[in-house]
Structures are given as structure tokens and as C-alpha cells.
Amino acid sequence: MKMQNNLDTRKIQYLTSLQVFFDNNSYHNLVMLEAEGYSNDEMIGIPSLVKKSGIADLPPDGILEFDLVIEPLDNEIRDVLNWSTKIIFDLNKFPENLKGIKVNALKNSDIVLVEA
């Protein structure tokens, strides 16, 4: 059994799927962001999507950016681990110049453009 002592939050190695679902019929204009990925030689952990900047800090390019990370739960390393996580947010709380949503893993990233 391989062990590691670093339990710091870190990016998942590879993003394998990014899907964005828009509920334009609701009052709140809800959006569900679903990301899946995997890592080799990694510890069991809890996946999450972490926004890289504040809502008001949307870059001039209009791309809302998240990191796909895990928070390890123990020191035991597995050969391959797959993760999936979802978040739901209210699109009305973001600036009108939002043009896309990007998710970063350690080795790759993906982006979904938001229709105006």
C-alpha cells in the first residue's frame, strides 16, 4: 500500500467531462455546472469546483473560471481515482459580460460558452 503525507487541497489531474445546464425558465436563471475527472496515484478525497476569483472580479474576457480540486481524506494512494462534482448557481448574480465558464484540471481544461 502506497502512502503519502500531504493532505493539502490540489487540482485533479485530468478533466474528462464538462457540462453546463441552463434553466432559463426559472426566476433565478439557475445554472448547473458538472465536471468529471481522474487522477493517477492519488488519495481518496472530496471533489469540488473552486472559483478562481470573486463574482465582481470577472476578467475582461468574460470567462468565469473554476479549478477542479480534491481535498484528500487519508494518506492511502490509489492507482486511479475518478471524481464527479456539481454546483448550482444563480446566473443573475454574475456580471452581464459573462461569456463562458472554464474549468481547469492540472493537465488540461475545458470551456463552455454562454449564449447571450
Would you give the DSSP letter of residue 52?
Answer: S
Question: What integer pLDDT is reported at residue 116 of this predicted model?
Answer: 52
**Tens-place pLDDT, residues 44-67:** 899 999 988 765 677 888 898 999
Distance CA 67, CA 83 (A): 13
Estimate to the nearest angstrom the gap between the alpha carbon of 90 and the chain centroid. 16
Total residues belonging to the chain: 116
Question: What integer pLDDT is reported at residue 92 of this predicted model?
Answer: 81
**Tens-place pLDDT, residues 72-112:** 888 888 899 999 999 998 888 877 888 999 999 999 999 99
Would you give the DSSP letter of residue 61?
Answer: T
Terminal Cα-to-Cα distance of the chain (whole angstroms): 51
**Tens-place pLDDT, residues 9-44:** 889 999 999 999 888 776 778 889 999 999 998 888
Count of Cβ atoms closer than 10 Å to residue 22 Cβ: 13
